[in-house]
């Protein structure tokens, strides 16, 4: 790795941060805009939910392919193409007036975000000194949950002040800034001598698998719809696994999963993200049932990110100094402890105690995130950084997809007993996460 001047490294980090913001921001910002969009387009709420689901599925399935593309072509063309696509999709979305076209724009946004995210992390690994890489990942780790949590608030303001079209237009200055700055500061790189292929078919089967999983978890028990969803899931899973075994350039490379640190990192971030997103979506519903207005609920929910972001910075520094296992185990333990009050009294917890509990949950996720990211890259060759990061982020988004589908389906908040069951499942998930984090490498 060549030395990079601090000013240049800072500018590169700013370019990467833009991509880190755009992905999660656009996955949650649209939530508050769905009702006015449905009214304007004349479609029901169930159909509108695919604006969220299609985005998450495309992001999850395409991350490894996009990461490998960055490894083979270098970060510059992939990052600039990603930001360019995001700009175009965000500019076109306000002009269309049909749900299929809007879903298409959202999928293009997801493709663009998939191009920028793993390639951005690979670029950071190039420009950051090895002993400060955890801090660099900590900065990104601080931004990811913050952007996801700010999304609904920003979306609400934009819809209130303007219209649903504004949630797309707000992306334009961010992507334009990233394009201009990236053009000047992102270094070029020579093409790989033996680039290999790109498993587009595998990514397609992975998309089908995730669609089948989402439909299966979302569909009410009984009836033909669940049978159809189950058939889609089984067939897509069989086809995906069969295809992966035959491809040397599989979208989920088997050699990555032969590394204990990678398995621990990918599983840990998936479990942590599942808990984080379900909590992020469930708490507002619980507060609404208690008669608490949206503004106050937003302030309460802010504890998640107010704690998560600074602890991600601390987690990055701790990972650099003490190794990966300590911040990961400590973070997932905090996550588990923060869920205990919600498990004991999910519907009547006093607001001050709820704020503290959410702060502990957010702190745990933030503290562990840089360690998991570094764990995914532990022992991975520099030229495969983008691919490994892409698979890691697929696991992260898979946690979000499974969590939101469970909340909409079998773990829906339909009664006080169901509320308790939800947080019992989340606590169990966090406990498994602690055990997984304990398998990360010890410091050398």
Distance, CA of 44 to CA of 156 (rounded, Å): 20
Can you count the helices (H) and strands (E) in the chain? 17, 0
Tokens 């270094």 sit on residue:
187
pLDDT per position as a tens digit, 236-271: 899 988 888 888 777 777 778 888 899 999 999 999
Distance, CA of 175 to CA of 83 (rounded, Å): 6
Distance, CA of 59 to CA of 41 (rounded, Å): 25
Q: What's the CATH number for 1-187?
A: 1.20.1250.20
Distance, CA of 335 to CA of 340 (rounded, Å): 9
**SS3 call for 409:** coil
Tokens 């995730």 sit on residue:
210
Distance, CA of 233 to CA of 211 (rounded, Å): 8
Q: Are 391 and 257 in contact (CB under 8 A)?
A: no
Query: Within a 13 Å sphere around the CA of 430, how many CA atoms are in the beta-carbon half?
Result: 29
Determine the distance from the C-alpha atom of residue 368 to the mean position of all C-alpha atoms in its chain, rounded to a whole number.
15
Three-point CA angle 69, 72, 78, nearest 5°: 45
Q: DSSP secondary-structure letter at 191? A: P
The tokens describing 6, both together, are 């601090």
Task: Indicate if 255-444 has the same CATH topology as 1-187.
Answer: yes
pLDDT per position as a tens digit, 130-169: 777 778 788 887 787 778 778 877 888 888 888 899 999 9
Where are the chain's structural domains?
1-187, 200-248, 255-444
pLDDT tens digits for the chain (444 residues)? 444 455 577 788 889 989 888 988 887 788 778 888 888 988 886 678 788 888 888 888 888 888 888 888 888 999 999 999 999 999 999 999 899 999 999 999 999 998 998 888 888 888 777 777 778 788 887 787 778 778 877 888 888 888 899 999 999 999 999 999 999 988 876 555 555 566 788 888 888 888 888 778 777 666 677 788 889 889 989 998 888 888 877 777 777 888 889 999 999 999 999 998 888 878 888 887 888 876 677 778 778 877 888 888 899 889 888 899 999 999 999 999 999 999 999 888 999 999 999 999 999 999 999 999 889 988 787 777 888 888 888 888 888 888 877 887 777 778 888 899 999 999 999 999 999 999 998 765
pTM: 0.79
Distance, CA of 82 to CA of 109 (rounded, Å): 9
The tokens describing 324, both together, are 């990966």
Q: Are 125 and 387 in contact (CB under 8 A)?
A: no
Superfamily of domain 255-444: MFS general substrate transporter like domains (1.20.1250.20)
């Amino acid at each position: 790795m060549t030395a990079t001047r601090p000013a240049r490294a800072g500018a590169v980090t700013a370019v990467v941060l833009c991509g880190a913001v755009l992905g999660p921001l656009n996955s949650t910002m649209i939530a508050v805009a769905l009702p006015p969009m449905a009214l304007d387009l004349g479609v029901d709420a169930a159909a509108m939910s695919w604006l969220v689901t299609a985005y998450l599925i495309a992001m999850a399935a395409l991350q490894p392919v996009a990461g490998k593309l960055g490894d083979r072509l270098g970060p510059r063309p992939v990052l600039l193409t990603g930001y360019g696509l995001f700009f175009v999709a965000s500019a076109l979305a306000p002009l269309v007036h049909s749900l299929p076209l809007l879903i298409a724009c959202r999928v293009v946004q997801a493709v663009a975000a998939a191009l920028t995210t793993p390639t951005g992390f690979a670029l950071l690994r190039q420009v950051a000194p090895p002993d400060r890489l955890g801090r660099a990942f900590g900065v990104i780790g601080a931004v990811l949950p913050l952007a996801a949590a700010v999304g609904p608030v920003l979306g609400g303001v934009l819809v209130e002040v303007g219209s649903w079209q504004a949630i797309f237009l707000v992306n334009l200055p961010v992507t334009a800034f990233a394009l201009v700055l990236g053009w000047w500061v992102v270094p070029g790189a020579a093409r790989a001598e033996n680039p290999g292929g790109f498993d587009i078919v595998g990514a397609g089967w992975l998309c089908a698998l995730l669609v089948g999983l989402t439909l299966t978890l979302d569909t009410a028990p009984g009836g033909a719809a669940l049978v159809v969803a189950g058939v889609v899931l089984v067939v897509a899973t069989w086809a995906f696994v069969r295809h992966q075994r035959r491809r040397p350039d599989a979208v989920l490379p088997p050699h990555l999963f032969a590394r204990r640190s990678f398995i621990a990192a990918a599983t840990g971030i998936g479990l942590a993200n599942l808990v984080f997103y379900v909590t992020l979506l469930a708490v507002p519903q619980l507060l609404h049932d208690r008669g608490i207005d949206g503004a106050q609920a937003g302030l309460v929910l802010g504890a998640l990110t107010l704690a998560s972001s600074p602890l991600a910075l601390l987690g990055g520094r701790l990972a650099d100094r003490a190794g990966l296992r300590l911040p990961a185990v400590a973070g997932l333990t905090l996550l588990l402890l923060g869920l205990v009050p919600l498990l004991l009294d999910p519907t009547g917890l006093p607001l001050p105690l709820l704020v503290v509990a959410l702060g502990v949950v957010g702190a745990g996720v933030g503290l562990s995130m840089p360690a998991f990211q570094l764990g995914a890259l532990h022992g991975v060759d520099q030229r495969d950084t983008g691919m490994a990061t892409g698979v890691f982020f697929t696991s992260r988004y898979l946690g979000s997809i499974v969590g939101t589908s469970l909340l909409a389906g079998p773990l829906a908040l339909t009664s006080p007993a169901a509320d308790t069951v939800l947080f019992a499942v989340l606590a169990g998930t966090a406990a498994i996460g602690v055990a997984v984090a304990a398998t990360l490498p010890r410091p050398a």
